[in-house]
Amino acid sequence: MAKTTIKWLSHSGFQISSNNGKIIYLDPWFENPLSTFGIQDVKEATLVLITHDHFDHVGQAADVVKKTSALLVANVETARRLQSESHIPAEKVCYFGYGMNIGGNLLYEGVSVTMTQAFHSTATGAPCGYIIKLEDGTTIYHAGDTGLFDSMKIFGELYKIDVALLPIGSVFTMDPLQAAWAAKMISPKKVIPMHYKTFPILVQDPKEFVDLSKREAPDVEVIVLNPGQEYTYSK
């Protein structure tokens, strides 16, 4: 049985380990109040994905890329900024140093990454999410920082998502009600809430999201993780 390990690093940061040993970091901001994980804990990486150019999402992405053999995946303008300011060589950035854009797909070492739209702000480029299809077919959607939008339903129909990683913290992203509706629209097998509790102004407790999801998306199992905790998904 194929197994995928999803570790919540806190905030919007995740480490995904495939059944075949591929390691993917998403929005690796290790230096936040909830984090129990640091750059010293990074041993290897295959891909590093950034959803948008805000400090709490770019985080230590450049450090992970430079420490490992990982390829950086980011919007065109964000990729160029990081290359210039963090001295990342072009060969360590997807598509020959150009980055990619919404709707684009990258196939790298058996892992498929599709960049999706997100509705948010960003210092460079455009905000995005990612749909990741691992070698065994396990499909994970990281929504990035976003509000609710209709195309989430299309993502669910088109990609048959196994696990959705959804922000619930309000203020900068969806609140618990919108996130519960997102779960309903996407209809994944599992959903893991993220982007909450890190700052005092964010939603502090995922309970409301859990309760609303039971009402709006009763067939979707909600998995609540603590920072540093892992969830193993079996295909």
The sign of the torsion formed by the CA atoms of 185, 107, 7, 30 equals: negative
Q: How many CB atoms lie within 10 A of CB 208?
A: 15
- Give tens-digit pLDDT for 159-184: 999 999 999 999 999 999 999 999 99
* CB distance 229 to 8 below 8 Å: yes
What's the CA angle centered on 204, arms 202 and 209, to 5 degrees? Answer: 100
CA-to-CA distance for 176 and 188, rounded, in angstroms? 17
CA-to-CA distance for 27 and 58, rounded, in angstroms? 6
Query: Domains of the chain, with CATH numbers?
Result: 3-226 (3.60.15.10)
Q: Does residue 97 have a pLDDT over 90?
A: yes
- Give tens-digit pLDDT for 53-90: 999 999 999 999 999 999 999 999 999 999 999 999 99
- Give tens-digit pLDDT for 132-164: 999 999 999 999 999 999 999 999 999 999 999
Average pLDDT over residues 101-128: 98
- pLDDT given for residue 19 in this prediction: 95
CA-to-CA distance for 59 and 51, rounded, in angstroms? 11
CA-to-CA distance for 23 and 44, rounded, in angstroms? 7
Q: How far is CA 158 from the centre of its chain?
A: 19
pTM for the structure as a whole: 0.98
2 band by pLDDT with thresholds 50, 70 and 90? confident
* CB distance 142 to 129 below 8 Å: yes
Query: Mean pLDDT of all residues in the chain?
Result: 97
Quick one: tokens of 143? Answer: 């929504």
- pLDDT given for residue 134 in this prediction: 98
* CB distance 147 to 139 below 8 Å: no
- pLDDT given for residue 235 in this prediction: 83
Q: How far is CA 210 from the centre of its chain?
A: 20
- pLDDT given for residue 161 in this prediction: 98
DSSP 37-106: --GGG----SEEE--SSSHHHHTTHHHHHHHSSPEEE-BHHHHHHHHHHHT--GGGBTTTTT-B-TT-EE
Quick one: tokens of 70? Answer: 């990982």
Q: Around 41, how many Cα atoms within 13 Å sit in the side-chain half-sphere?
A: 15
CA-to-CA distance for 160 and 196, rounded, in angstroms? 26
Q: Which residue has the tokens 């993917």?
A: 24
Average pLDDT over residues 15-40: 97
DSSP 214: H
3-state secondary structure at position 234: strand
